[in-house]
């Protein structure tokens, strides 16, 4: 495998000069100690590398690069045990069971045969090795590791002749399937599930993993193309994207898998002939771009339908897939199908609830002489749907109702309860000209006996006046965070008057009212608790943060005022939705004599 960062213009990796060694710089040198290590390693004909007292690789010689199929930059600075030491099945050894780590920690010379190192392509290399401690005059200490292929180990440059990694034992196979089930079913995020799937199968089963998914519109999209190389996962975004339609009669492996047929082996020759569809053209391009010489293509089936296909590919010098590998890959994709189907169902339900919630949020009316705007931001994670809402609507006597509220809960029931509460409040407020506290008291009684709403907080206000006479707000508060009033000079205060208990408690206590004049160029902000509360800060800190930023932004246009308020006040990692309703009074006009 050619490393792109060390390749020349023709794609070839520079050949180390004979007798040279690659050394580490930075914390370990370069210095006299590293110069001596370079000389020592360069004089060794076998593979040789030096590690410090903690097992980090300090320097390597060219034979090490050749035998391990890894460039020096992929070795130096890495933990030798984690990167290289393996058992006969290619699995990482626990440190407590690794004889090389025992020798290193005990600072004694140990020779052992056989052992196994992992090459850059993921295959195990059987080796005989010798570990011996060293201490240089400058105080540098560590150990030298000298190794060579064990027994009849073949030429490392011919994959066809290389030892085939041992097939998984039954216990290892069951452990892999159990890991697949546990990791994939523990998330309801489809992208995260796919990312976990790739890291489960690479590099244990292949060098490449390609995931093609069928979208809700029956289109096919190449969602992931990932290579495992030199110990890292490399995503090939240039090979991702939309694919041509699935041909219904094609016998080629990917077409069959996307129609739900059994898994199939494939090679570049499978797609070397005249393509029977655009999908076959893309597959030929994929094999050429990745260098895969062998692949398994398996369908990803959900309980109800085919969701896509997984392609596992091997490249370089690893052994080709055989028919014996197909049952294991099919077991993995079957589990992936269940996890993806669950994730899709969850996301569909969440989108339905969020769409319903957004449709219930009103289009703001135009009020001559006032600016008004609103924001609704759903929570980013599992509690994406909630009961936050705002409302603005005209009343029979010419006043305008302002509402901000939050129904307890974060699910479809909360969104439905919000709709009930909103409609009841609209109907009651329209039908009677009464103070906000009276309207809220009657709504509380209705909620207790008729609505399917456990509890809710609400601020309900009547906005009265016009551009000539000025504006006045009369409001009541049922357990909600207090509105914030900011004048143009940046003086801000919370409207803490008229505060009562939340709705749904069954209390018959009277609801208080309060009034305030909205001065010229003042800004009124109503908001839900998602703007100020989080597990990492108290509500008092959140209120102080809101007042501080709102005062500093008072001179901003109302749209940018709201956007910046969200950006600066909403807590990082907030798992709650947020609703904001803001209005601004324009400057006072000239008086008419």
CATH number at residue 30: 3.30.450.20
Which CA distances in Å does 206 have to 421, 464, 490, 497, 553? Answer: 56, 70, 62, 67, 55
Residue 362 has what pLDDT?
77
Q: How buried is residue 148: exposed, middle or buried, by Cβ count under 10 Å (0-12/13-18/19+)? A: middle
Burial of 348 (0-12, 13-18, 19+ CB in 10 A): exposed
For 358-372, letters b (16+ CB in 10 Å) and e give eeebeeeeebeebeb
Is the alpha carbon torsion for 239, 242, 243, 248 positive or negative? positive
Shared-domain flag, residues 187 and 147: no
What sign results for the dihedral spanned by CA atoms 537, 542, 543, 549? positive
Do 298 and 404 lie in one domain? The reply is no
What is the distance between the alpha carbons of residues 561 and 524, in angstroms, rounded to a whole number? 11
Quick one: pLDDT at residue 289?
A: 93
User: Which CATH number is 314's domain given?
Assistant: 3.30.450.40
- Could you give the 3-state DSSP secondary structure of residue 223? strand
Pair 403, 539 in one domain: yes
Nearest-angstrom CA–CA distance, 241 and 222: 5
DSSP symbol at 537? B
| pLDDT, position 447 | 78
Q: Residue 485 has which token pair?
A: 């009033």
296, part of any domain: yes
pLDDT at 519: 92
Same domain, 377 and 307: no
Same domain, 177 and 321: yes
- Let me know if residue 274 belongs to a domain: yes
CA gap 425, 91 in Å, rounded: 65
* 466 domain-assigned: yes
Q: At what angle do helices 436-449 and 412-431 cross, to 10 degrees?
A: 130
Helix (H) or strand (E) holding 350: helix 326-360
**Same domain assignment for residues 426 and 516:** yes
d(CA 561, CA 581): 12
Q: Are residues 184 and 336 in contact, defined by beta-carbon separation less than 8 angstroms?
A: yes
> φ and ψ at 12, to 5 degrees?
-100, 145
d(CA 571, CA 477): 24
Place of tokens 């129609």: 259
> Does residue 443 share a domain with residue 403?
yes
Is 132 within a domain?
A: yes
Q: Does residue 109 share a domain with residue 51?
A: yes
Q: What is the CATH number of the domain that holds 399?
A: 3.60.40.10
Cα separation, 518 vs 515, in Å, equals: 10
> Is residue 354 domain-resident?
no
Paired tokens of 103: 């020798």
Exposure of 44 in the CB half-sphere (CA atoms within 13 A): 23
Number of domains in the chain: 3
Domain boundary at 130, 161, 192, which? 161
Structural domain includes residue 14: no
pLDDT for res 518? 94
Domain span at residue 518 reads: 361-584
| Domain stops at, among 348, 372, 389 | 348
Q: Are residues 115 and 222 in the same domain?
A: no
257 and 314 assigned to the same domain? yes
Give the global pTM.
0.50
13: in domain: no
User: What is the residue-wise DSSP string for 483-500?
Assistant: PEEE-TTS-EEE--SSEE
End-of-domain residue from the set 136, 161, 186: 161
Question: Which pair of tokens denotes residue 544?
Answer: 């102080």
pLDDT along the chain (593 residues), means of 10: 37 36 39 58 79 87 89 89 83 79 79 81 83 76 84 39 48 78 82 89 90 90 91 90 91 93 92 89 93 94 91 86 90 91 81 67 84 85 65 92 84 69 88 90 81 82 86 95 93 95 83 94 94 86 95 94 93 80 83 39
Q: Is residue 469 within 8 Å of residue 458, measured between CB atoms? A: no
Does 387 lie in the same domain as 264? no
Distance CA 474, CA 460 (A): 9
Asked whether residue 353 is assigned to any structural domain, the reply reads: no
119 and 212: one domain?
A: no
Token pair of 160 as six digits = 């066809």
């Amino acid at each position: 495998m050619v490393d792109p960062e060390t390749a020349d213009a023709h794609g070839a990796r520079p050949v180390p000069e004979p007798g040279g060694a690659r050394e580490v710089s930075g914390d370990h040198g370069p210095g006299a100690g590293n110069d001596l290590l370079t000389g020592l390693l360069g004089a060794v004909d076998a593979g040789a590398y030096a590690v410090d007292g903690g097992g980090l690789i300090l320097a390597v010689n060219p034979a090490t690069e050749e035998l391990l199929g890894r460039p020096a930059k992929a070795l130096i600075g890495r933990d030798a045990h984690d990167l290289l030491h393996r058992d006969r099945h290619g699995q990482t050894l626990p440190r407590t069971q690794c004889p090389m780590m025992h020798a290193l920690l005990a600072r004694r010379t140990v020779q052992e045969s056989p052992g196994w190192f992992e090459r850059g392509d993921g295959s195990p290399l059987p080796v005989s090795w010798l570990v011996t401690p060293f201490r240089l005059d400058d105080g540098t200490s560590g150990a030298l590791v000298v190794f060579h292929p064990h027994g009849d180990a073949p030429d490392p440059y011919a994959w066809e002749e290389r030892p085939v990694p041992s097939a998984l034992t039954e216990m290892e196979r069951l452990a892999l399937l159990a890991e697949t089930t546990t990791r994939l079913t523990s998330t309801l995020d489809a992208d995260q599930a796919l990312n976990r799937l790739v890291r489960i199968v690479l590099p244990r089963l292949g060098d490449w993993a390609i995931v093609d998914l069928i979208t809700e519109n029956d289109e096919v999209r190449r969602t992931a193309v990932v290579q495992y190389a030199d110990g890292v996962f490399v995503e090939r975004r240039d090979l991702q994207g939309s694919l041509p339609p699935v041909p219904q009669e094609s016998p080629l492996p990917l077409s069959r898998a996307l129609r739900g047929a059994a898994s199939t082996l494939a090679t570049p020759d499978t797609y070397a002939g005249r393509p029977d569809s655009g999908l076959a053209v893309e597959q030929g391009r994929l094999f050429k771009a990745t260098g895969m010489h062998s692949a398994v293509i398996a369908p990803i089936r959900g309980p109800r339908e085919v969701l896509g296909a997984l392609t596992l590919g091997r490249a370089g010098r690893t052994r080709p897939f055989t028919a014996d590998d197909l049952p294991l890959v099919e077991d993995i994709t079957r589990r992936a199908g269940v996890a993806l189907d669950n994730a899709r169902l969850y996301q569909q339900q969440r989108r339905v609830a969020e769409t319903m919630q957004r449709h219930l949020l009103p289009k703001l009316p135009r009020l001559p002489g006032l600016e008004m705007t609103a924001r609704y931001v759903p929570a980013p994670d599992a509690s994406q749907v909630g009961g936050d809402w705002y409302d603005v609507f005209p009343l029979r006597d010419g006043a305008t109702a302002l509402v901000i509220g939050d129904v307890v809960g974060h699910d479809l029931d909360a969104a439905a309860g919000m709709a009930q509460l909103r409609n009841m409040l609209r109907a009651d407020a329209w039908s009677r000209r009464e103070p906000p506290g009276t309207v809220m008291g009657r709504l509380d009684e209705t909620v207790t006996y008729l609505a399917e709403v456990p509890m809710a907080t609400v601020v309900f206000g009547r906005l009265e006046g016009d551009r000539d006479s000025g504006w006045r707000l009369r409001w009541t508060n049922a357990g909600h965070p207090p509105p914030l009033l900011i004048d143009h000079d940046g003086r801000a205060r919370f409207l803490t008057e008229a505060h009562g208990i939340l709705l749904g408690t069954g209390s018959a206590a009277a609801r208080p009212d309060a009034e305030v004049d909205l001065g010229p160029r003042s800004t009124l902000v109503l908001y839900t608790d998602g703007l100020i509360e989080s597990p990492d800060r108290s509500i008092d800190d959140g209120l102080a943060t809101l007042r501080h930023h709102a005062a500093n932004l008072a001179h901003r246009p109302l749209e940018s005022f709201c956007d910046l308020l969200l950006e600066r006040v909403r807590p990082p990692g907030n798992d709650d939705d947020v609703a904001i309703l803001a209005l601004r009074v324009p400057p006072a006009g000239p008086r008419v004599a």
